[in-house]
Amino acid sequence: MEQNIKSYLADIGRRGGRKSRRVLDPETARAMVRVREARRAYRRFHAECFWSFDPAYLIGPSDVSWVVEQLRKHGGREAWETTRKLCR
């Protein structure tokens, strides 16, 4: 491998390993985590709770409460446990 390519790859690898410089307030960070977890729950419990909805539907911040409602309405114990995480 040529030296200039090797140094370029080392540089971008070093940048990727540094701590993120994005600054988020705690409330925004929590909202992002809730959306991520709601998306994960939608995919995980799709066959049980969301079978009539598009599997490729992208859950947004306004959909988190709907996901919780559907999980509680149609899900089993495991779905209920997931809603506890989403409602923190």
pTM given for the model: 0.72
Nearest-angstrom CA–CA distance, 21 and 81 = 33
Q: Is 15 exposed, middle or buried (0-12, 13-18, 19+ CB in 10 A)?
A: exposed
pLDDT band at residue 2 using 50, 70 and 90 as cut-offs = confident
Whether 61 maps to a domain, the answer reads: yes
Whether 8 maps to a domain, the answer reads: no
Whether 69 maps to a domain, the answer reads: yes
Whether 9 maps to a domain, the answer reads: no
For 29, the domain range is: 22-86
The total domain count for the chain is 1
Whether 39 maps to a domain, the answer reads: yes
Whether 12 maps to a domain, the answer reads: no
37-47 confidence digits (pLDDT tens): 999 999 999 99
Whether 75 maps to a domain, the answer reads: yes
